[in-house]
């Protein structure tokens, strides 16, 4: 049972909606916004390709790993307190990041920002569900979902605009401004609420899930350094998977599991979760790879690079609006599978980009990618929520968020790692001293900045690595489409 708000004043639900959406937009945009600044960060901090992956993924990984325990903390100890705490952590870490001078500092501070984001995101949705009356709740949740989906693109555009006038530190300044406004507004208008019957926190389950995800992602990102078939990489990946297996066994036996693995017996939920996972695996991995290509290979400015992504959002939004009607007419399975196939096709087209490609080829890939994501998202979400009864809709919502954030974190790790491996394997600089070659392989931004033949060879090597990464993503999404189709067919039979 949810405790009533501590204030006796009438709740201004419209103001609450604005505030929670502002907080949500701040933490979701931070997942993608820094991608535009990677070339500048690499030049300023001398970050390697592997470190660039970590700068982006430290945030996403911590965010995803702590999402479920953070939601439980909000339910048990107060959603408003959790929201304010998360915003404060997010804002303070962003202030510190504005002063960072090294890649290692940025990686650590992005991880701290991820802690704050994990506290914020579930608190925003649970505040809506506990504050809005039944007749207004579905519309409010729809607005929340729209903000969660669109903030990533808006973050890229806002960062691209800032970078036209300021340094990469301004991207963190945007985080600070959004967090400060959200803290003041939340303090004034968001009522406190908590669930008196919320179970005890599953600390062991939370620790196991975090450890497993961190070990797997660490091993994938570091694979180009150690070698994909090296003992360190293989032991790390297998060890991480073993920890996750122990997590599942523990959750099956504990009285109050953080995530009950039995819910995956619902094939519809499994299919929807896999679909959401792969959509954001592809999306965030693609953004990480392509924004570097646009700036360092094509030579586009940060703003032009950000604007180049807008056609994807332009077709994604109307596709998402049409998708419910298509689902009603044809069913969830064909619409969801068709959407994933379009995503795979878009990535396949994008994997043909090279040093001399025109924008039209990029556009030809962005259109099916955007349409596919917009089409597949609604039936996938409906499959998750429809698999569980009303009493478990909080679990369904958490699974939707978890699938998206973990998918995004792994997408950045896997595609970033394949890109780095491909770049280093294909970079050939005959006649260049060994120390210069080592530096060029370490950092594409540094090689690009060197100019001359080094930059020309680096561009070709980067494009080759990008092609491999996007091809891997295309094949993975197509395989997921097959599995989703089988699971949805069985769930409907």
Domain at 55, CATH number: 1.20.1250.20
Residues 367 and 479 in one domain: yes
Residue 424 lies in a domain: yes
pLDDT-based confidence at residue 1 (cuts at 50, 70, 90): very low
Q: Which residues of 88-121 are buried (b: 16+ CB within 10 A; e: fewer)?
A: bbbbbbbebbbebeebeebbbbbbbbbbbbbbbb
Mapping DSSP to helix (H, G, I), strand (E, B) and coil, where does residue 263 land? helix
Q: Which residues contact 75 (CB under 8 A, 6 or more apart)?
A: 126, 194, 195, 198
Residues 209 and 269 in one domain: no
* Residue 9: pLDDT over 70: no
* Residue 292: pLDDT over 70: yes
Residue 2 lies in a domain: no
Residue 182 lies in a domain: yes
Mapping DSSP to helix (H, G, I), strand (E, B) and coil, where does residue 353 land? coil
Residues 328 and 475 in one domain: yes
Arithmetic mean of pLDDT, 275-303: 92
Q: Which residues contact 115 (CB under 8 A, 6 or more apart)?
A: 62, 66, 86, 89
- Structural domain of residue 117, as residue ranges? 8-191
* Residue 402: pLDDT over 70: yes
Residues 427 and 377 in one domain: yes
Q: Which residues of 272-284 are buried (b: 16+ CB within 10 A; e: fewer)?
A: bbbbbbbbbbbbb
Chosen domain end from 257, 273, 299 = 257
Residue 366 lies in a domain: yes
pLDDT-based confidence at residue 322 (cuts at 50, 70, 90): confident
Residues 302 and 161 in one domain: no
Integer Cα distance of 290 and 357 in angstroms = 13
The encoded tokens of residue 323 equal 């998708």
Name the domain count of the chain.
3
Residues 323 and 364 in one domain: yes
Residues 415 and 481 in one domain: yes
Chosen domain end from 149, 168, 191 = 191
Residue 3 lies in a domain: no
Integer Cα distance of 205 and 246 in angstroms = 9
Beta strands in 79-189 (DSSP E): none
Identify the pLDDT of residue 6.
47
Residue 329 lies in a domain: yes
Residue 196 lies in a domain: no
Integer Cα distance of 314 and 318 in angstroms = 7
Residues 280 and 234 in one domain: no
Of residues 268 and 207, which shows the higher confidence score?
207
Of residues 312 and 147, which shows the higher confidence score?
312
Residues 476 and 396 in one domain: yes
Residues 283 and 252 in one domain: no
Identify the pLDDT of residue 7.
46
Residue 197 lies in a domain: no
Residues 226 and 77 in one domain: no
User: What is the model's pTM?
Assistant: 0.85
Chosen domain end from 191, 221, 247 = 191
Residues 251 and 129 in one domain: no
């Amino acid at each position: 049972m949810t405790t009533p708000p501590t204030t006796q004043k009438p709740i201004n639900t419209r103001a609450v909606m604005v505030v929670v959406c502002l907080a949500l937009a701040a933490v979701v945009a931070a997942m993608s916004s820094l991608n535009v600044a990677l070339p500048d960060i690499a030049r300023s901090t001398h970050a390697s390709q592997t470190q660039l992956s970590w700068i982006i993924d430290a945030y996403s990984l911590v965010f995803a790993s702590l999402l479920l325990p953070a939601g439980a903390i909000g339910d048990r100890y107060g959603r408003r307190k959790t929201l304010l705490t998360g915003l404060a952590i997010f804002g303070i870490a962003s202030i510190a990041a504005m002063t960072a001078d090294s890649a290692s500092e940025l990686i650590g501070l992005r991880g701290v920002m991820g802690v704050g984001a994990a506290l914020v995101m579930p608190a925003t949705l649970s505040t809506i569900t506990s504050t809005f009356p039944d007749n207004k709740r579905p519309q409010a949740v729809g607005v929340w979902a729209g903000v969660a989906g669109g903030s990533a693109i808006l973050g890229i555009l806002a960062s691209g605009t800032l970078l036209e006038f300021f340094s990469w530190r301004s991207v963190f300044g945007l985080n600070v401004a959004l967090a400060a406004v959200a803290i003041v507004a939340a303090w004034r208008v968001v009522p406190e609420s908590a669930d008196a019957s919320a179970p005890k926190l599953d600390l062991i389950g939370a620790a196991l899930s975090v450890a497993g995800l961190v070990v797997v992602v660490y091993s994938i990102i570091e694979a180009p350094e150690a070698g994909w078939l090296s003992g360190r990489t293989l032991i790390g990946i297998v060890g991480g998977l073993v920890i996750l297996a122990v997590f599942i066994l523990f959750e099956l036996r504990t009285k109050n599991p953080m995530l009950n693995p039995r819910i995956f017996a619902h094939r519809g939920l499994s299919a929807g979760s896999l679909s959401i996972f792969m959509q954001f695996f592809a999306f965030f991995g693609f953004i990480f790879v392509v924004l570097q290509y646009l700036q360092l290979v094509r030579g586009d400015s940060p703003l032009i690079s950000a604007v180049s992504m807008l056609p994807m959002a332009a077709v994604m939004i109307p596709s998402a609006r049409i998708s419910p009607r298509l689902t009603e007419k044809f069913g969830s399975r064909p619409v969801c599978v068709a959407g994933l196939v379009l995503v795979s096709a878009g990535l396949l087209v994008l994997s043909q980009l090279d040093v001399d490609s025109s924008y039209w080829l990029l556009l030809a890939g962005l259109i099916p990618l955007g349409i596919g994501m917009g089409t597949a998202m609604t039936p996938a979400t409906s499959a998750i929520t429809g698999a569980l009864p009303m009493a478990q809709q909080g679990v369904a919502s958490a699974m939707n968020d978890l699938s998206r954030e973990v998918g995004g974190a792994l997408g950045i790790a896997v595609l970033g790692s394949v890109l780095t491996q491909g770049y280093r394997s294909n970079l050939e600089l005959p006649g260049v001293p060994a120390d210069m070659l080592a530096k060029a392989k370490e950092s594409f931004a540094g090689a690009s900045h060197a100019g001359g033949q080094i930059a020309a060879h680096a561009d070709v090597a980067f494009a080759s690595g990008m092609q491999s990464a996007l091809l891997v993503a295309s094949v993975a999404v197509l395989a997921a489409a097959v599995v989703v189709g089988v699971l949805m067919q069985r769930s409907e039979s």
